[in-house]
Amino acid sequence: MKNVLITGCSSGFGYLTALLLARKGYKVWATMRNVLTKNKAKKKELLVIAEKEKLHISVLELDVTIETSVTKAIDFIINEDGTLDYLVNNAGYMFVGLTEAYTIAQAKDQFETNFFGVLRMVKAIAPHMRKQKEGLIVNVTSIAGRLTFPYFGIYCASKHAVEAYSQALRYELAPWGVEVSLVEPGPFGTNLLYSGPKEADQAIFDSYYKQKDEPAALLKFFDGFFQSSEAPNPQLVADDIAMLIETKRGERPERVVSGVGFGAEDYNQKVYPIQQSVVKDALQLQHLMKLTR
């Protein structure tokens, strides 16, 4: 039985993906923070569903911001299963507000989860995948990792970072039989829009007296959209993650846009040949340097 580790399973995309993949016959390690406190009810909910439907779901404590938590969870899974076939880096949260009014400490917190959390997971798992000569890493970013929206500046920066990191990993891990793909959700009616803190630099916030209400107005717009008949179902993201996992090795796309893309699909299509050219030129340069040594 193939197994998969998913981060951020207490709600939203992670929760839906855990159930979908378990129902498809995978052994799912559904990880989340605070399984004995804040997310105790969510853990119980998943396990009750698993018992009722005879699904292979195990809920495991994992905080992507703490290295010891990551290594402890990975070591436990490897000791139990001997291998790890798929990793879905889904854990994350979002800042929505005046970009300048977020403090340096707040920006670091955003990156600690959204970017460095992904790095910790990859560094803990990639050696096992390289050893077994196969595996798939799916990093859930956002269309905000390709496009940039006002008042999402810190969040966009963290997701742009994951996009760049994933692109490099895709090339570097390929010779080991390990693949990397990205899922880029558009706006969905999950709790992500409201998961981050408000701006902490009050003096800067107050100086934007003509704009400081605009982030709230933007959130109100999204609320209206999510309640409309045009709102996309968050299940689309889980479906796209499952599609990548079930796609034949060597045929998985680099990026998949889920839901409303705001033109991200077109952006990806136009950038792809440029990126491929950059890699080709870099490899040719490397070859020439070897010849001249």
Among candidate residues 26, 86, 93, 155, the one labeled active-site is 155
List the end-to-end C-alpha distance of the chain, in Å, as a whole number: 49
Contact, 13 vs 238, CB < 8 A? yes
20 Cα distance to chain centroid: 17
**Around Cβ 126, how many Cβ atoms within 10 Å?**
19
- Whether 208 is a known active-site residue: answer no
251, HSE (Cβ side, Cα atoms, 13 Å): 5
CA atoms within 13 A on the CB side of 231: 15
For the chain, count helices (H), then strands (E).
10, 7
State the Cα–Cα distance between residues 143 and 141, nearest whole angstrom.
7
Instruction: For residues 136 and 246, give the distance between their C-alpha atoms in angstroms, rounded to a whole number.
Output: 10
- What positions carry a catalytic annotation? 155
